[in-house]
A = this chain, B = another copy of it.
Amino acid sequence: MKFGVLGSGLVGSTIATKLVSLGHEVKMGSRDAANPKGKAWVDKVGRGASQGTFADAAAFGEIVFNCTNGMGSLDALKSAGDAAFRGKILVDVANPLDFSKGMPPTLFVGNNDSLGETIQRTFPEAKVVKALNTVNASVMVEPGRVRGEHDVFVAGNDAGAKAQVVRLLNDFGWKNVNDVGDITAARATEAYLHLWLRLYGALQTADFNVHVAR
């Protein structure tokens, strides 16, 4: 399958590499078509990997991942054009983290909104699925880094899109995927970042996650 991965940072390159390793074709999108991090990634991964602008990657992908920095996500997505995501699954991995007030970062959305919803509102014809934003990049594509049972979450308005993302997460190695509801539930998985950040501070490792026990 063809994927667009928006963002050439750690999260983008980690997701993009995993998708290629699963046999998919991936175009990494950046602001600049000749982005050096994108080029380094293409050179390293080789077959199946390409790069371009955000618009190029969005047009290329049958499914598109938003792995841009949360603060820049809307601008990045808008630069791909309004039509870029029409009818497509847009997996939103970004978090609305605000590092401007020091560490730990806070969130730039409040209790009644989320980055996921903002993206869905901005691109109403996209099928936005919030996913994977609750774990570190390495854990996203290698759940085995954390011992025992642990879970990820999906939120989105389109049941079919969520089901397809769940299958993809299964391919990534995830066994426990909790559907927490429509895209407004992105508030919940984004707000969890507050706890993630404190646990990260307490545990001194990013190789952790939560399991929903019952």
Where the two chains meet, the residues of A that have a C-beta atom closer than 8 Å to any C-beta of B are 98, 101, 106-108, 110-112, 146-150, 153, 155, 178-181, 185, 187-189, 191-192, 194-195, 197-199, 201-203, 205, 207-214
Q: Which residues of B contact A108 (CB under 8 A)?
A: 111
Given contacts A106-B111, A179-B202, contact A148 B194 (CB under 8 A): no
A212 touches B208 (CB 8 A): yes
What is the total number of copies of this protein in its complex?
A: 2
Q: Which residues of B contact A187 (CB under 8 A)?
A: 194
Q: Which residue of B lies closest to A214 (CB)?
A: B208
A213 touches B146 (CB 8 A): yes
Q: Which residues of B contact A198 (CB under 8 A)?
A: 155, 180-181, 185, 188
Select A191's contact among B194, B199, B211, B214, beta carbons within 8 Å.
Answer: B194
A213 touches B148 (CB 8 A): yes
A195 touches B211 (CB 8 A): no
Query: 5 new A-B pairs (CB below 8 Å) besides A178-B202, A179-B202, A192-B192?
Result: A101-B112, A146-B213, A148-B149, A148-B211, A188-B198
A211 touches B210 (CB 8 A): yes
What are 17 inter-chain pairs, A to B, with CB distance below 8 A?
Answer: A106-B111, A108-B111, A146-B213, A147-B214, A148-B213, A149-B213, A155-B198, A180-B202, A181-B198, A191-B191, A191-B194, A191-B195, A192-B195, A209-B213, A209-B214, A210-B211, A210-B213
Select A211's contact among B110, B197, B211, beta carbons within 8 Å.
Answer: B211
Q: Which residue of B lies closest to A109 (CB)?
A: B111
Given contacts A110-B110, A148-B213, A211-B210, contact A189 B178 (CB under 8 A): no
Select A213's contact among B98, B179, B202, B208, beta carbons within 8 Å.
Answer: B208
